[in-house]
Amino acid sequence: MKERRKHCRVAVNKRVWICNFDETASPADPKDCLIVDISEGGACIQCSARYEEGQPIAFTYQDFMEDGLRPVIGVVMWSRQYSETDRRYGIKFLGLSTQMLRRIQSIVVQTTEGKGGSAGV
């Protein structure tokens, strides 16, 4: 299968809060999840909550949050069963600010340099 990713991804394995997102309202009903990996374009998130492809979501990840509490907005691109209780979701980021993008790039660079540049494609 041909690789479709545009950006290098790195393993993160950090806890986040994820929730449904409605552009006219605040994120609601946050669920505890795990960011499996991340890139400039998106992330793979694992959780027991159920989301549909095309569904907008928001999540908070302390390492690149703006103003302390601003969530990252994305859309679910795919989902796969991971375990009996959890699914993994491919999230495409939507409209990242320059500050957030730089923070993600920094995480990717730091991680790939620490591994000899061999993480992801």
pLDDT value, residue 80: 96
pLDDT value, residue 3: 53
Note whether residue 3 is domain-resident.
no
**56 vs 105: which has the higher pLDDT:** 56
Note whether residue 118 is domain-resident.
no
In whole angstroms, give the CA distance from residue 31 to residue 105. 26
Please check the confidence at residue 68 and state whether its pLDDT lies above 90.
no
Note whether residue 60 is domain-resident.
yes
In whole angstroms, give the CA distance from residue 65 to residue 31. 17
**5 vs 62: which has the higher pLDDT:** 62
Note whether residue 66 is domain-resident.
yes
pLDDT value, residue 119: 41
Return the CATH number at 88. 2.40.10.220
pLDDT, mean over the chain = 78
Burial class (CB in 10 A: 0-12, 13-18, 19+), 69: exposed
The two structure tokens encoding residue 6: 């545009």
- Whether the Cβ atoms of residue 64 and residue 103 lie closer than 8 Å to each other: yes
pLDDT value, residue 90: 95
Note whether residue 72 is domain-resident.
yes
pLDDT value, residue 6: 67
Mean pLDDT, rounded, for 7-16? 80
- The runs of H, that is alpha helices, within the chain are 98-114
Note whether residue 119 is domain-resident.
no
Domain that holds residue 81: 10-108
How far is residue 119 from each of residues 25, 29, 39, 62, measured CA to CA in Å?
Answer: 37, 33, 11, 22
Give pLDDT tens digits for 23-41. 555 556 778 899 999 888 8
Note whether residue 5 is domain-resident.
no
How many domains are there within the chain? 1
The two structure tokens encoding residue 8: 């290098």
Note whether residue 18 is domain-resident.
yes
